């Protein structure tokens, strides 16, 4: 199964900005500046050691203009070429480092964040939400009956179903939201500064995209659905655990018929609001 190639669009810098910051252009410029310093240094050395140069610096330059010009052009060219070669090497190293960093943070099948990278972002987002009193929301998404898809159509189509859900998440979430493959058949979306209304829109968008676009398999059409546990919080403390609340909402949704959204709110005092809203209530 081919992994997804476009990871998180928000994490990929545009090509123009990457070229502007590229060492292959910075290093030749530094070499050019260093090259200019060679004839200047030679002139200053002669100026300090030869009284006739101090007496008539213009005559010194006129007399040895070919020497200074040769030294200027030669050193600038040599330093620029060396800088370009060093810049290419540094750029290869930087790209390799970025590649392996990216590889360590993303799920190889779906291209979404893996659980470790997602947990890091969750911890930082929660700290900011507590400090700045900002809203924060979390969606836990479970693929319904994935085992049945694997048993009936094979594991390759099971992977296709996971990719199908991952694509729906990418298109449904906001550009600033982080999406991850949280487990075997479970996904997560973190909405930093996202209130209940924003989280509802994303969750509903995911459900509608999957309902409108079934997965076409060689042996038939597969209707892929998900159950979403949603937790929205405002005015929380560091002791709050959005994962536990969203997981409880997910559990409720799975035992209430699946293919729906169930919401749990965390109140200002850090306690969970007992009210839970199903998909019908959210859209009603």
Pick the closest to residue 45 from 67, 30, 25, 28 (CA basis): 67
Domain end: 58, 80, 105, which one? Answer: 105
In a domain, 2, yes or no: no
CB atoms closer than 10 angstroms to residue 189: 28
In this structure, are 237 and 215 located in the same domain?
Answer: yes
In tens, the pLDDT along 205-225 reads: 999 999 999 998 887 899 999
Domain end: 105, 134, 149, which one? Answer: 105
Residue 204: burial class (beta carbons within 10 Å; 0-12, 13-18, 19+): middle
In this structure, are 226 and 123 located in the same domain?
Answer: yes
Res 6: pLDDT: 42
In this structure, are 98 and 119 located in the same domain?
Answer: no
In this structure, are 137 and 84 located in the same domain?
Answer: no
In a domain, 274, yes or no: yes
In a domain, 44, yes or no: yes
In this structure, are 228 and 129 located in the same domain?
Answer: yes
In a domain, 4, yes or no: no
What's the CA gap between 269 and 236, in Å, rounded?
7
CATH of the domain at 136: 3.30.70.270
Indicate the helix (H) or strand (E) that contains 186. Answer: strand 186-192
In a domain, 110, yes or no: no
Q: Please name every residue paired with 140 in a beta bridge, in sequence order, or none if there are none.
A: 188, 229
In tens, the pLDDT along 127-165 reads: 999 999 999 999 999 999 999 999 989 999 999 999 999
Residue linked to tokens 């669009």 = 9
In this structure, are 182 and 260 located in the same domain?
Answer: yes
Domain end: 79, 105, 131, which one? Answer: 105
In this structure, are 134 and 254 located in the same domain?
Answer: yes
In a domain, 95, yes or no: yes
In this structure, are 56 and 167 located in the same domain?
Answer: no
Largest CA-CA distance found in the chain, in angstroms, rounded = 98
**Cβ neighbours of residue 57 under 8 Å, at least 6 residues apart?**
43, 47
**Average pLDDT, consecutive stretches of 10 residues, N- to C-terminus, the chain (284 residues):** 44 43 68 72 78 79 75 75 76 69 80 94 94 95 95 92 96 96 94 96 97 88 96 90 95 95 78 46 40
In a domain, 65, yes or no: yes
176: left (phi over 0), alpha (psi -120 to 50) or beta: alpha
CA torsion through residues 106, 112, 115, 121, sign: positive
In this structure, are 254 and 123 located in the same domain?
Answer: yes
Res 2: pLDDT: 45
In this structure, are 127 and 215 located in the same domain?
Answer: yes
Give residue 98's domain range. 9-105
In this structure, are 230 and 123 located in the same domain?
Answer: yes
Res 89: pLDDT: 73
In a domain, 89, yes or no: yes
Token duo for residue 102: 């990216």
In this structure, are 206 and 73 located in the same domain?
Answer: no
* Number of domains, the chain: 2
């Amino acid at each position: 199964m081919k992994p997804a190639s476009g990871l998180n669009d928000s994490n990929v810098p545009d090509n123009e900005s990457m070229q502007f910051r590229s060492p292959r252009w910075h290093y030749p410029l530094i070499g050019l500046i260093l090259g200019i310093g060679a004839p200047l240094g030679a002139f200053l050395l002669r100026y300090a050691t030869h009284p006739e140069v101090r007496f008539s610096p213009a005559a010194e330059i006129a007399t040895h203009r070919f020497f200074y010009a040769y030294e200027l052009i030669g050193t600038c060219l040599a330093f620029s070429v060396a800088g370009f070669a060093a810049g290419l090497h540094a750029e290869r190293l930087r790209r390799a480092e970025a590649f392996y960093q990216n590889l360590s943070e993303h799920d190889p099948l779906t291209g979404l964040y893996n659980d470790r990278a997602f947990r890091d972002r969750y911890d930082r987002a929660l700290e900011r939400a507590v400090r700045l009193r900002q809203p924060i929301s979390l969606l836990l998404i479970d693929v319904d009956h994935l085992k049945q898809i694997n048993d009936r159509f094979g594991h390759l189509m099971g992977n296709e179903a996971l990719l199908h859900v991952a694509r729906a998440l990418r298109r449904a979430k906001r550009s600033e939201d982080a999406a991850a493959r949280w487990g075997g058949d479970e996904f997560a979306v973190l909405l930093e500064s996202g209130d209940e209304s924003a989280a509802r829109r994303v969750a509903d968008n995911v459900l509608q995209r999957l309902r409108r676009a079934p997965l076409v398999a060689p042996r038939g059409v597969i209707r892929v659905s998900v159950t979403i546990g949603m937790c929205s919080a405002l005015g929380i403390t560091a002791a709050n655990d959005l994962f536990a609340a969203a997981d409880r909402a997910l559990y409720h949704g799975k035992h209430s018929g699946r293919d729906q959204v169930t919401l749990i709110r965390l109140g200002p005092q850090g306690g969970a609001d007992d009210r839970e809203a199903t998909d019908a209530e959210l859209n009603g």
